[in-house]
């Protein structure tokens, strides 16, 4: 087991009284005015009996309304790639505020940012901007349908591509109704999606080349595009099998459909050029959000010139009053320039921290008697409490114990480490986390497991 030296002046949160009284009171107020108490379901999902409500953040740390501080591994679901309150982002936004909040026209910042992305991303010959990952994937799919003249889309079981109807199938597939693993049932994630939409969607298992080829061979005359997370990062972190993405690329070419990478989570995080650079596979179109803005609302669709140039008046529609908002462009430019300096040193440093945290958590949990698999790709990682030796598919992820993760997470909270209570959410390391935070996290895990010794483990 790796040796962790307790840093000087480390004071665990449990050395003082831990209270979430104000968070609980505020959540009760929120439920009176906000459906379910939040403007996004994920902010309340699995938070029992109420979510911790944050007040401020600096660097890799966050403080809640009760005054408790935490090492933050939520990082706004990965958006805060430079941590909280990064000075360069704030400076760029303040400068733009002095010039104007918004204009409703193309700006020089918009052109500059598009150039930066085009230089970094292998497939990005042209770029257009939106406000969220949902909007980006929605436009990417529209482009695919328009240029191919086909209506159907193939997505993978367990992958999440945003909140529009065309991709909200088999995001969650409960075992009693999920069908065969090689041929998953097509299940709407929420009510309210018309049956006619379902007819345009095909669902396939991920990390299974044989099943994918069988499905594409049968449906290739109707399939406009295959959309995938290059790393399944919406069910924990599940990397692609060796050469899987290359084989996926070959199959989409063979069966004449476009390949869309949803890089909302991998983009500007696991490498300068995202998963395309990391795995050496170039899609036709890619979608970005989260880390792109460093905390500001912005997304991008990038792709081949012959595809992207079809967007325009009288052709493929794309619009939005807040698209390419100057304040978000300022934040994004600051973020990418910071990440890219020194030949992308930040990506290597984040990956090293991810590897260290993965090893430390796996060894600490195993030494305490837990069966776990800890997966990581770069600075994204997840803990699966499972007897399996490997988690490489969605259905294997579902076999992990959410209850054991929740107990571990709740104890970690008391020890000053914030993770989402849903074990299928990621832990995200930012460019401002350091070895100190990783060491403190592993120490907090050791202390948390001492408190859990009376609970059943297996």
As a residue count, the chain comes to 458
- Report CA Rg, the chain: 22
* pLDDT computed for residue 238 by the predictor: 98
Q: Has residue 7 been placed in a domain?
A: no
311 and 367: one domain? no
Backbone angles phi, psi at 335, to 5 degrees: -65, -50
Q: Does residue 158 lie in a domain region?
A: yes
Same domain, 104 and 218: yes
17 falls in which pLDDT band (50, 70, 90)? confident
**CATH number of the domain within which 323 lies:** 3.40.640.10
The answer on 419 and 403 residing in a single domain is yes
Among 319, 321, 333, 351, CA closest to 430: 351
Model confidence pLDDT, tens digit, residues 269-321: 999 999 999 999 999 999 999 999 999 999 999 999 999 999 999 899 999 99
Average the pLDDT over 68-91 and give the result. Answer: 98
User: Residues 372-383: pLDDT tens digits?
Assistant: 999 999 999 999
Q: What is the pLDDT of residue 47?
A: 86
Q: What residues does 58 pair with on adjacent strands?
A: 61
- 167-219: pLDDT as tens digits: 999 988 877 788 888 888 888 888 999 999 999 999 999 999 999 999 999 99
Q: Quick one: 171 and 42 in the same domain?
A: no
Q: Is residue 434 located within the same domain as residue 356?
A: yes
Which is it for the CA torsion 246, 250, 251, 256, positive or negative?
positive
The CATH number linked to 423 is 3.90.1150.10
pLDDT at residue 8, rounded to an integer: 52
Of 295, 310, 339, which closes a domain?
A: 339
Is 67 part of a structural domain of the chain?
Answer: yes
Q: Judge if 325 and 188 occupy the same domain.
A: yes
Domain membership of residue 4 (yes or no) is no
| pLDDT surpassing 50 at residue 236 | yes
Residue 102 belongs to a domain: yes
Largest CA distance in the chain: 67
CA distance 245 to 231: 9
- pLDDT tens digits, one per residue of 21-62: 999 999 899 999 999 888 888 888 888 899 999 999 999 999
Active site positions, annotated: 160, 262, 290
* Contacts of range 316-319, beta carbons closer than 8 Å, 24 or more positions apart: 316/142, 316/143, 316/146, 316/147, 317/142, 318/128, 318/139, 318/142
Do 98 and 58 sit in the same domain of this protein? no
Q: Quick check: is 8 in a domain?
A: no
Are residue 377 and residue 251 in the same domain, yes or no? no
Instruction: Examine the domain organization and report whether 30 and 117 are in the same domain.
Output: no
Task: Tell me which residue of 109, 116, 119, 88 sits closest to 334, measured CA to CA.
Answer: 88
Domain of residue 381 covers 13-85+345-451
pLDDT of 9 reads: 47
The residue among 283, 305, 339 that closes a domain is 339
**What is the count of structural domains for the chain?**
2
Q: Is the pLDDT confidence value at 6 over 80?
A: no
CB 73 within 8 A of CB 417: yes
The segment with the largest mean pLDDT, out of 42-46, 160-164, 454-458, is: 160-164
Residue 35 in domain = yes
Query: Are 121 and 251 contained in the same domain?
Result: yes
Tell me, yes or no, whether 137 lies in a domain: yes
Asked if residue 220 lies in contact with residue 160, where contact means CB atoms within 8 angstroms, the answer is: no
Residues 176 and 239 placed together within one structural domain of the fold? yes
Judgement on whether residues 80 and 100 belong to the same structural domain of the protein? no
Q: Which of 309, 339, 369 is the last residue of a domain?
A: 339
pLDDT > 90? residue 327: yes
- The edge-to-edge listing of strands for the beta sheet with 69-72 is 54-58, 61-64, 69-72, 417-418
111 CB-near residues (< 8 Å, 6+ apart): none
| pLDDT in the model for residue 37 | 84
């Amino acid at each position: 087991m790796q040796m962790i030296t307790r840093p000087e002046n480390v004071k665990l949160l449990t050395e003082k009284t831990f209270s979430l009284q104000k968070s609980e009171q505020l959540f009760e107020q929120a439920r009176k005015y906000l459906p379910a108490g939040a403007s996004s379901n994920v902010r309340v999902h699995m938070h029992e009996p109420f979510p911790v409500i944050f007040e401020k953040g600096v660097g890799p740390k966050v403080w809640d309304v009760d005054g408790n501080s935490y090492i933050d591994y939520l990082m706004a679901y990965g958006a805060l790639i430079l941590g909280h309150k990064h000075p360069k982002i704030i400076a760029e936004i303040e400068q733009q505020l002095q010039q104007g909040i918004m204009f409703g026209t193309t700006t020089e910042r918009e052109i500059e940012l598009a150039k930066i992305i085009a230089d970094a991303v292998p497939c990005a010959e042209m770029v257009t901007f939106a406000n969220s990952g949902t909007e980006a994937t929605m436009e990417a799919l529209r482009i695919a349908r328009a240029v191919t003249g086909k209506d159907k889309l193939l997505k993978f079981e367990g992958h999440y591509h945003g909140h529009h109807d065309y991709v909200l199938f088999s995001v969650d597939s409960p075992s009693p109704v999920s069908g065969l693993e090689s041929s998953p049932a097509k299940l709407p994630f929420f009510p309210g999606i018309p049956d006619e939409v379902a007819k345009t969607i095909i669902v396939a298992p991920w990390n299974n080349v044989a099943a994918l080829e069988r499905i594409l061979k049968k449906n290739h005359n109707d399939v406009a595009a295959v959309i995938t997370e290059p790393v399944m990062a919406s069910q924990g972190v599940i990397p692609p099998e060796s050469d899987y993405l290359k084989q996926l690329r070959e199959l989409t070419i063979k069966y004449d459909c476009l390949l869309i990478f949803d890089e909302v989570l991998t983009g500007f995080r696991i490498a300068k050029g995202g998963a395309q650079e990391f795995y050496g596979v170039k899609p036709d179109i890619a979608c970005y959000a989260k880390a792109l803005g460093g905390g500001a609302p912005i997304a991008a669709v990038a792709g081949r010139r012959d595809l992207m140039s079809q967007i325009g008046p009288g052709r493929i529609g794309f619009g939005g009053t807040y698209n390419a908002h100057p304040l978000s462009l300022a934040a994004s430019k600051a973020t990418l320039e910071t990440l890219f300096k020194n030949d992308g040193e930040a990506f290597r440093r984040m990956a090293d921290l991810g590897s260290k945290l993965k090893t430390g958590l796996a060894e600490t949990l195993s030494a305490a008697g837990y069966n776990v698999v800890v997966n990581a790709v770069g600075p994204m990682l997840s803990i699966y409490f499972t007897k399996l030796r490997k988690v490489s598919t969605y259905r294997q992820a579902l076999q992990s114990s959410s209850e054991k993760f929740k107990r571990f997470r709740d104890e970690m909270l008391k020890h000053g480490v914030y993770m989402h209570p849903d074990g299928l959410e990621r832990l995200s390391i930012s460019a401002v986390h350091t070895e100190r935070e990783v060491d403190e996290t592993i120490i907090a895990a050791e202390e948390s497991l001492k408190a859990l010794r009376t609970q059943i483990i297996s």
